[in-house]
Amino acid sequence: MIHWTPRAKFLDNTHNKSKLIHLLSLTFQKLHITLEQSDNDADTLIVREGLAAATDDSVEVRAEDAEVLVMLVHHSSSTNHPLFLTTSKGCYDVRRIRD
C-alpha cells in the first residue's frame, strides 16, 4: 500500500529532504547532468553557475527567489549570450532588464 503525504509535510522532514536530494543527485549523475550541491543558501551558487554558463550559450535559470534576479541583473554584464530567469510567475530576460 502506498502512503501519500502532502509535499510540504514531506519536505518539512529533514530526513525525507536529504533522501530526496540524494536520490535526485544519483539520477542526475546517471544521466550525465552536471550537479552542484550547496550546504548553505544556494542563491549565490545558482547565480555563479548561471553566469558562467551564459558565457558559452543561452541560459535559463529557474528560481523563485527575487534575490536571484537582482544578482543576475547586477552581474550579467559579463555574459555574451541570452540569460533568462524563469519563475512560477513568468520568464524574465535578464539582459533586457539590465539595459
| 39 vs 76, more confident | 76
Whether the full predicted model's pTM is greater than 0.85, yes or no, is no
pLDDT beyond 90 at 5: no
DSSP conformational letter for 86: E
The structural domains of the chain, with segments of one domain joined by +, span 1-35, 38-99
* pLDDT tens, residue by residue, 7-65: 888 889 899 989 999 999 999 999 998 888 887 788 999 999 999 999 889 999 999 98
pLDDT beyond 90 at 2: no
pLDDT beyond 90 at 84: yes
SS3 of 34, please? coil
